[in-house]
Structure 1
């Protein structure tokens, strides 16, 4: 009993520490200096509102801040696959950066995950807007339902005032840049995936009111010249397809393959436009 009580105390202390930290975690890589002669797949670090189950959660025996969902394993796996499937020279070890990092402009694209509770400071909003205005590209993934979308869309109205998102249908070239995809793939996180089961994640796993989680879409914010600045893959978890590629042949063949196809298309399109 003492061991159990001690373990629970450790968890409680960790939870309180995370709750009191403005930006819990840096992924262990925000201070590293990657090789800038290669493409670096960079995870954006952001803060989230709320407490346990909102700003952070426990899974696989550890605490996760929302921004680091699937990091670093998923990002590293994708970096290696991207290097194998294309001619892009990619750093096999993904990086992470604050939106206010002084070297953010060294990286042409950022990847952001699980932003359904995301909040940004005024300084972060200005840095985010500056990054996009200077030609940066951001891909946002793994958020489901109406409430999580509205949270992110509200932030984006501050980052890009006067601009609204649009749906990119499968006719858009981004779906056909390398692999010919006929639809936006819906990738459920591994715990919600089963042979013959529903690919939509359950409403109870997401922010209330969830609304519809059944229709995956790619949505985007575009600049005056038609350049995609921000692409959001909504009602799907592309990143889990990368992270969980080794969790059995069925999951890999059913979901990871399509996750990699979508990822290769998005990055290749962004790097060539």
Structure 2
């Protein structure tokens, strides 16, 4: 990437970090990127009411290869199945993340093997690392000293948070065996107890606050 383009990207981020906009990643491969349609709007509302963010209530939808991605300091991604990034998608995502963006990937169930494969296109030199419970993302706004809360059963495994780091900065978070975004949905969608939804929303707010301040 040339210096002119780098300057453009960093300037773009400097402006848009103040806007507090978020988007959902509209990826290819056949996976249901559009699943959990009420999740992110509900998380935005919770964050605006409880941690004093000023996020646009309506999240955007952005493709990984689009320059529009640079409008959003925080991107959410979820789904159940296949994910595919073209070479152009992977390069654009890499530039976005190294330039200051943050990507939260929440496995809605069945995404794990596919997203791990595609992230190697974005960062072939890096591995997903499990975050310890002491990582500041678990206490950014609400304290979760044991790490991720368990929201849905899935395979009955413990919830895990994995990350990709650059010079100590967490720039991509992958949450597995928790299904936070199901917990963000309207109550009648999954009929989760209110205390379970609250845990999911509080942890989501932690991610929002961390991403905007990181």
TM-score, length-scaled by structure 2: 0.85
Unaligned runs of 5+ in 2: 1-15
Q: What are the superposed Cα offsets for residues 18-67 of structure 1, whole Å, 9 maximum, x if unpaired?
A: xxxxxxxxxxxxxxxxxx66312210000124xxxxx4xxxxxxxxxx10
Residue 221 of structure 1: aligned partner: 164
Residue 69 of structure 1: aligned partner: 35
> Distance between the aligned counterparts of 1:80 and 1:252, measured in 2?
19
> Distance between the aligned counterparts of 2:181 and 2:118, measured in 1?
22
Does 1:201 find its partner at 2:165? no
Aligned partners of 1:45 and 1:68 also within 8 Å: yes
Number of equivalent positions: 197
Aligned partners of 1:241 and 1:252 also within 8 Å: no
Aligned partners of 2:87 and 2:121 also within 8 Å: no
Aligned partners of 1:246 and 1:252 also within 8 Å: no
Task: Give the 3 Å change call, closer, same or farther, for CA 94–252 of structure 1 in structure 2.
Answer: farther
Q: What are the superposed Cα offsets for residues 101-147 of structure 1, whole Å, 9 maximum, x if unpaired?
A: 222112111000026410111111111111112111100002446xx
> Distance between the aligned counterparts of 1:46 and 1:228, measured in 2?
22
Aligned partners of 1:116 and 1:152 also within 8 Å: no
> Distance between the aligned counterparts of 2:169 and 2:94, measured in 1?
15
> Distance between the aligned counterparts of 2:46 and 2:187, measured in 1?
11
Correspondence 1:103-114 to 2 at 5 A: 103-114=68-79
Residue 86 of structure 1: aligned partner: 51
SS in 1 for 2:125: coil
Deviation beyond 4 Å, 4+ runs, structure 1? none
> Distance between the aligned counterparts of 2:65 and 2:171, measured in 1?
18
Correspondence 1:177-192 to 2 at 5 A: 177-183=140-146, 184-188=148-152
TM-score, length-scaled by structure 1: 0.67
> Distance between the aligned counterparts of 1:245 and 1:258, measured in 2?
13
Aligned partners of 2:23 and 2:72 also within 8 Å: yes
Task: Give the 3 Å change call, closer, same or farther, for CA 265–91 of structure 1 in structure 2.
Answer: same
Residue 96 of structure 1: aligned partner: 61
Equivalent position to 1:230, from 167, 172, 191: 172
Residue 272 of structure 1: aligned partner: 213
> Distance between the aligned counterparts of 2:22 and 2:157, measured in 1?
29
Quote the RMSD (CA, aligned, Å). Answer: 1.9
Unaligned runs of 5+ in 1: 1-35, 50-54, 56-65, 189-199, 203-212
Residue 254 of structure 1: aligned partner: 195
Aligned partners of 2:74 and 2:101 also within 8 Å: yes
Residue 152 of structure 1: aligned partner: 115
> Distance between the aligned counterparts of 1:75 and 1:178, measured in 2?
18
> Following TM superposition, by how much is the alpha carbon of 1:246 offset from its aligned partner in structure 2, in angstroms?
4.8
